[in-house]
Amino acid sequence: MKEVTSETGHLVDKSTYVVPKAGGEVGASAVTDKERPDSESVASDARQTFSASLNPLVAAASTMLSRLVEIKYTKKIDDPEKLKKEWVRELGSFQSRALNLNAESHLLDQASYVLCTVLDEAAVRTQSPTAEGAVSKHDWSATSLLYRMHNETFGGEKFFLILNALRGNPVKHLDLLELMYLCLSLEFQGKYHAADTEGKAELNDTRDGLYRTIRHLRGDAPRELSPHWHGLKDQRRDLVHIVPWWLVVLFTLMCLAVMYSGFAWVLGEQRETVLEPYRQLDAAVIQPPLQDKDA
């Protein structure tokens, strides 16, 4: 999970999507004053972010999580029945997608339970702008995702029971803890939905404590663009390591032999040139004088 510490101490990925304020408004930007993006672009950006996550559970649930971001942004559900069918289909294939992404199999049932609970709450709490498309709490709860997938009607309290149990061994359950933290960051409240100020503070403490646990295990995000980049130096090997030592020795001896032969031939030619006059003198001295036949 890519994170940047916000003013509240929560994990926020500023490079992906903007989490709106209460009422669906987006805070003004000091960098740009562009027109507010539509819900489809927000959901698309969120889907790309979640699907690219290194957490297999988050990546497998990317479509559902992106719809949560869209609902959080627009504060409405135009077609509840269509949305429910979409989520039922996504939940049905969630576990197989997660396994294909090398998720831990022992986390899948609880991850499905968490997603059903969070999606149900988002649907029940969100009202469509028209009376015809308004979401009825009774109707959705009667055929809720949690009831269909896990035969339970309310998981708002069990969500936090699961969370507390997982925090007993955070290393083993880190992927699911990250998914649950993401749900809390998308304003899931569960049993704290109707809580007073003290209850809301307890919810914030739970979220902040989970953040610290995840950050302790994952470590801080690298500040450098390419922290593991070492250039081309590591990609090359020295010539000594590429060429065997015996081949170097053999090549050296061959070069010395060729040089010796060349020098010997040149010296021989020069020696013959220098000695040629002396050989003529030696021949004249050795040859005996001719006797006179008339004598």
pLDDT score for 12: 44
pLDDT score for 177: 95
> Is 60 exceeded by the pLDDT of residue 106?
yes
pLDDT score for 89: 92
pLDDT score for 8: 38
- pLDDT band, very low/low/confident/very high, at 73 (cuts 50, 70, 90): confident
Summarised one tens digit per residue, pLDDT across range 160-180 is 999 999 999 999 999 999 999
Residue type, 29: S
**DSSP for 192-259?**
GTT--HHHHHHHHHHHHHHHHHHHHHH-PPPSSS-TT--TTGGG---HHHHS-HHHHHHHHHHHHHHH
The tokens for 208 are 């902040």
Residue type, 11: L
102-110 LR contacts (CB < 8 Å, sep 24+): 102/56, 103/56, 103/57, 103/60, 103/175, 104/172, 104/175, 107/57, 107/173, 107/175, 107/176, 110/162, 110/166, 110/176
The tokens for 88 are 């039922």
- Report the chain's mean pLDDT, rounded to a whole number: 74
Domain-by-domain residue ranges, the chain?
4-218, 239-281
- pLDDT band, very low/low/confident/very high, at 215 (cuts 50, 70, 90): very high
> Is 70 exceeded by the pLDDT of residue 150?
yes
Please compute the mean of the pLDDT values over residues 227-233 and round it to a whole number: 55
pTM of the predicted protein model: 0.60
> Domain 4-218 has what CATH class?
mainly alpha
* Rounded CA separation 253/244 (Å): 15
Please compute the mean of the pLDDT values over residues 18-36 and round it to a whole number: 39
* Rounded CA separation 44/78 (Å): 18
Q: Is residue 127 classed exposed, middle or buried when 0-12, 13-18 and 19+ CB atoms within 10 A define those classes?
A: middle
Which of 120-129, 171-180, 200-209 is least confident? 120-129
pLDDT score for 28: 39
> Is 60 exceeded by the pLDDT of residue 1?
no
- pLDDT band, very low/low/confident/very high, at 105 (cuts 50, 70, 90): very high
